[in-house]
Amino acid sequence: MTYQFTIIVPVYNEEENLERVETELSNYLKIASVPTSILFVNDGSSDNSQALIETICARQPDFEYILFKENRGLSAAIKAGFDTVTSEWVGYIDSDLQTAPEDFNILLEHIGEHELVTGVRSNRKDSFVKNMSSKIANGIRRAFTHDGMDDTGCPLKVIKTEYAKRIPMFRGLHRFLPAMIMLQNGRVIQVTVQHFPRMAGTAKFGLWNRLLGPLMDCFAYLWMKKKYINYNISKSSKATTSF
């Protein structure tokens, strides 16, 4: 089967959530607006996540996985997914399922006219501290990047794969995906999506990750923006891969 869209699911010690992930994503595949596959990226989990992932992939023909030798972080997991997929479009969703897979259909409505469509979490079901730290971090990021995005931490995005593969990812840069698409002169739009409380497992990020870490990453982004190379080939005798 030829897939048009691949959903990356980064996983790090989410054994309590994976059966629900299987149920929710397999249900989504039945209503997906385009042919869709699922790619688990196991970021070196130390619990039973990998055994569960292999069991899920064995019984779900549209599910695949890759496993890191060691934990390398969310940005590395997303980058590995971008490097692996061959579909025209790629997206990702967190394995805590605080966002709804069916909302991918809403995002996909806009991908024809944009290179990245990102969700904005409506009525967030997180703690006061988490919500406020995210709001402050987003404000700082917008001041540095001028990307106009309200919620780049939303774990629900769809990107044209050819653009995703050109993003020079480094640790923490997953928060800057819209800005990195804009560096490629890509069009970006944000769309409101649902948000739910975490049902199982524990959050992997504390105040440092949500606030102070992103502030440091802003300086890395400014360096990247200054050094970024962007070009378009107008003609070539060499065959190229199309998405």
| Proportion of the chain above pLDDT 70, given as a percent | 79
The pLDDT tens digits for 168-226 are 877 777 788 888 898 899 999 999 998 776 555 555 545 555 556 666 777 777 777 77
Q: Looking at the domain assignment, is residue 241 inside a domain? A: no
Q: Check which CATH number belongs to the domain holding 206 and give it.
A: 3.90.550.10
For the beta carbon of residue 99, count every other beta carbon within 10 angstroms: 19
> Which pLDDT band holds residue 81 (cuts at 50, 70, 90)?
very high
> Which pLDDT band holds residue 100 (cuts at 50, 70, 90)?
very high
Closest by Cα among 85, 19, 12, 3 to 55 = 19
Q: Looking at the domain assignment, is residue 45 inside a domain? A: yes
The pLDDT tens digits for 146-158 are 676 767 778 899 9
Longest dimension (CA), the chain: 57
Q: Looking at the domain assignment, is residue 88 inside a domain? A: yes
Q: Looking at the domain assignment, is residue 240 inside a domain? A: no
Q: 125 or 221: whose pLDDT is higher? A: 221
Closest by Cα among 153, 11, 152 to 73 = 11
pLDDT for position 116: 97
Q: Looking at the domain assignment, is residue 14 inside a domain? A: yes
* Under 8 Å between Cβ of 96 and 14: yes
Q: How many domains does the chain have?
A: 1
Average pLDDT over residues 213-242: 71
Closest by Cα among 175, 193, 170 to 97 = 193
How many helical (H) and strand (E) elements, i.e. helices and strands, does the chain have? 9, 7
Note down the domain range covering 140.
5-227
pLDDT for position 29: 98
Q: Looking at the domain assignment, is residue 166 inside a domain? A: yes
The pLDDT tens digits for 17-65 are 999 999 999 999 999 999 999 999 999 999 999 999 999 999 999 999 9
Q: Looking at the domain assignment, is residue 237 inside a domain? A: no
> Which pLDDT band holds residue 87 (cuts at 50, 70, 90)?
very high
pLDDT for position 209: 58
Measured at the alpha carbon of residue 180, what is the angle toward residues 179 and 181, in degrees to the nearest 5? 90
